[in-house]
A and B are shown apart, each in its own frame.
Chain A
Amino acid sequence: MEFRWEVVWNAMPQMVAGAQLTAQITLLGIGGGMLIGILCGLILAFRIPIVRWLVFGYVSLIRGTPIVVQAMFIYFALPMALDIALSGFAAASLCLALNAGAYITEIVRGSVLSIDPGLTDAGLALGLSYPQILLTIVGPLALRRSVPPLGNQFIISLKDSALFLVIGVAELAQRGEQLTAQTGRALEIWTAVAVFYLIMTFSLAMIMRLIERRMPIL
């Protein structure tokens, strides 16, 4: 079977639109995931009483169920249970944020705990408060340690966004499915979709490398 370039060319506008939506969902997902992950990670690292059991439950729930099930639950079951309306885009972003948040929680917890407690002792001995130590010493050092695993998680989240085709969100993978149905040219369409994903994941990896280079682990 020959490769028909005009199929790719004609599909381009739809694919770009799909890639844009994928980028938006991913950015909201990892942004929200970072907020959740930093907060929950610190709660676990500093063993804040009671709330840490809630966080533990949340992380166990997310890590223990497939993301497809989470997406289905948030899009179909949650609006029914709470009697609210949730757009596919909102459900997808929320799902990705909650999912990434659980993994980032573990990344943050691990990074904070990997910082030499002797540094906290040194800060305390100077008369710094715990918040000051977190902000100026442990936080910045833990952040550096977390850059490589965070980069990894961001790429996983970007690729996970493809499964939101199951809830009908018109992101890149869903466009691929639609375009294949329209054109009947699976080879060209899925090749192009794969290249789009590759470009996005590669760019993300390069950005993380750059950050890593500017903030080396000490």
Chain B
Amino acid sequence: MSLIQCRGLTKDFGGTRVLTDIDLTVEPGEVVVIVGPSGSGKSTLLRCISVLEPLTSGTLEVDGQRLGAPGVSKRDMRRETGMVFQQFNLFPHMTARENVTIGPRKARGVSRREARRIADRLLERVGLTDRADHLPGELSGGQQQRVAIARALAVNPKVMLFDEPTSALDPELRGEVLQVMQGLAKEGMTMLIVTHEMRFAAEAATRLIFMDEGRIVHDGPPGRLLPEPPSERFRQFLGDVGGKDPSGTGEKPPPGR
């Protein structure tokens, strides 16, 4: 059974259409990288899938639960997706460990002891055991983002959603976050990743989606799409993000290009 299924998903903000008729199905174990120019609706798509943003029309199913169906609450659906934000969005008044335990404690009703066990296991997995008692403000950007990944994993989501998880990081801190994500991919975690890191896309993605102006333009294996871009638009985009450059740092293009 598919983990994510969008049918005819459309999203308007005020009068402007931001997503148009998105059909997207994601199967368990897929690692889908979404790329596209700024403003093409990538973040909005992730926010719709994580039920942070109401749909204008269309349907959304996550792990067989349909948004708006009787007996399915938004809260139930949100627990099935883990979200990692560009700006980390860690709770600044809680230590790394508290950031990770709050999900299991409050959303899953897990006991204090069990939540702590979950947190310590996940913090170890992202390599931050020795930072467990630090506040986010005392951590580097890369460390914060790794805590955020642990926090999202702690409620045991079926799918992980990443919205430009490395864009706010200095280049030398990106590797540690990408490495954690790569580890998740290897373990078979289903992931939907918005990123400009084309090298990561080439290496870790099982599927690449190119979005433009609120639509899915291309959808296929990166091994096929990257060497021979099927459209001039996509070719131009790859040029902008340096995807053709084997040493590409994945820098975002300046806006307005």
Interface residue A125 (Cβ < 8 Å from any Cβ of B): yes
Which of B50, B76, B91, B135 is the one whose CB lies under 8 Å from A125? B50
Interface residue B89 (Cβ < 8 Å from any Cβ of A): yes
Report chain B residues within 8 Å CB of A128.
75, 102-103, 106-107
Report chain A residues within 8 Å CB of B78.
124-127
A109-145 CB contact bits vs B (8 Å, 1 = yes)?
Answer: 0000000101101111111110010001100110010
Distance between Cα atoms of A1 and B79 in the complex (Å): 78
Report chain A residues within 8 Å CB of B85.
118, 121-122
User: How distant is B46 from chain A, measured CB to nearest CB, in Å?
Assistant: 10
Interface residue B81 (Cβ < 8 Å from any Cβ of A): yes
Interface residue A81 (Cβ < 8 Å from any Cβ of B): no
Report chain B residues within 8 Å CB of A50.
none
Interface residue B83 (Cβ < 8 Å from any Cβ of A): yes
Report chain A residues within 8 Å CB of B51.
124
Interface residue B113 (Cβ < 8 Å from any Cβ of A): no
> Are the CB atoms of A126 and B93 closer together than 8 Å?
no
**Contact A127:B91 (CB < 8 A) given known A121-B85, A132-B106:** no
> Are the CB atoms of B107 and A127 closer together than 8 Å?
yes
> Are the CB atoms of B82 and A125 closer together than 8 Å?
yes
Q: Which residue of A lies closest to B108 (CB)?
A: A127
**B88-115 residues at the A interface, CB under 8 angstroms:** 89-93, 102-103, 106-108
Which of A125, A136, A140 has most chain B Cβ within 10 Å? Answer: A125
Which of A122, A127, A144 is the one whose CB lies under 8 Å from B89? A122
Report chain B residues within 8 Å CB of A137.
91
Chain A residues within 8 Å of B, Cβ to Cβ: 116, 118-119, 121-129, 132, 136-137, 140-141, 144, 218
**Chain A contact residues: over half helix, strand or loop, or mixed?**
helix
Chain B residues within 8 Å of A, Cβ to Cβ: 47, 50-52, 75-76, 78-79, 81-83, 85, 87, 89-93, 102-103, 106-108, 135, 137, 148, 151-152, 154-155
**Contact A126:B52 (CB < 8 A) given known A121-B89, A140-B93:** no
**Contact A127:B137 (CB < 8 A) given known A122-B83, A137-B91:** no
Which of A122, A124, A137 has most chain B Cβ within 10 Å? Answer: A122
Report chain A residues within 8 Å CB of B155.
126-127
Report chain B residues within 8 Å CB of A132.
106-107
**27 A-B pairs (CB sep. < 8 Å):** A118-B87, A119-B91, A121-B52, A122-B83, A122-B85, A122-B89, A122-B90, A122-B91, A122-B148, A124-B78, A125-B52, A125-B78, A126-B78, A126-B103, A126-B152, A126-B155, A127-B78, A127-B103, A127-B155, A128-B103, A128-B106, A128-B107, A132-B106, A140-B93, A218-B93, A218-B135, A218-B137
User: How distant is B65 from chain A, measured CB to nearest CB, in Å?
Assistant: 13
Report chain A residues within 8 Å CB of B92.
141, 218
Distance between Cα atoms of A69 and B4 in the complex (Å): 63
User: How distant is B19 from chain A, measured CB to nearest CB, in Å?
Assistant: 18
User: How distant is A115 from chain B, measured CB to nearest CB, in Å?
Assistant: 10
Distance between Cα atoms of A35 and B48 in the complex (Å): 37
> Are the CB atoms of B106 and A124 closer together than 8 Å?
no
> Are the CB atoms of B102 and A125 closer together than 8 Å?
no
Distance between Cα atoms of A123 and B94 in the complex (Å): 13
> Are the CB atoms of A126 and B79 closer together than 8 Å?
yes
Distance between Cα atoms of A196 and B153 in the complex (Å): 58
Report chain B residues within 8 Å CB of A140.
93
Which of A116, A119, A129, A136 is the one whose CB lies under 8 Å from B75? A129
> Are the CB atoms of A136 and B79 closer together than 8 Å?
no
